[in-house]
Amino acid sequence: MNLQLTDIGHVIQLAIAPVFLLTGVCTNLMVLTNRLARIIDRSRVLEDRLDIAYQDAYMDELDVLYRRWHLINYAIALSTACGLLICLVIALLFLGDTTNVPLDQYIAGLFVIAMLCLIGSFVYLLVEIFVASKTLRSRRHVRPPGSLPNPN
């Protein structure tokens, strides 16, 4: 195998776009894990309160948190799969270009699957946000008639 500096430069140019995509996927994973951490923290608080005294409101909120937890876990799994597939795309780009093996169909297929995983991850994130928003709206306290908001 006789690699020239220009060949390596060409391969690196090909791999730059997937690397930027990988950066975006990692940012998405950070958002998802932060949301998961908040869900876990809130569920621990509610479980501690339930150990002290049982209340239906706590159980209802825990049910919603468990649903959100599942949705975020699916989103994290799909986003992680997307990141792994993008890494494979980058590796195949280098392998195919340096060995002159035609891997273009595999690269395209893996890229499409990676995009489907990313789309799925965003869909699960969006559903989780809708569930969280719906829960927040359903528990909104209404100001009694005649009371003024605090000007401070």
Q: Would you say 86 and 21 are in contact if contact means Cβ atoms under 8 Å apart? A: yes
**1 versus 62: which is more confidently predicted?**
62
Opening angle at CA 142, ends 136 and 143, nearest 5? 140
Helices H / strands E in the chain, number of each:
3, 0
Q: What pLDDT is stored for residue 97 in this prediction?
A: 78
Over the stretch 98-141, which tens digit does the pLDDT of each residue have?
A: 788 889 899 999 999 999 999 999 999 999 999 999 887 777 66
Cα(81)–Cα(87) distance, integer angstroms = 10
The residue among 9 and 45 whose pLDDT is bigger is: 45
The tens digit of pLDDT for each residue in 68-90 reads: 999 999 999 999 999 999 999 99
- Which residues fall within 8 angstroms of residue 131, CB to CB, at 6 or more apart? 64, 67, 68, 71
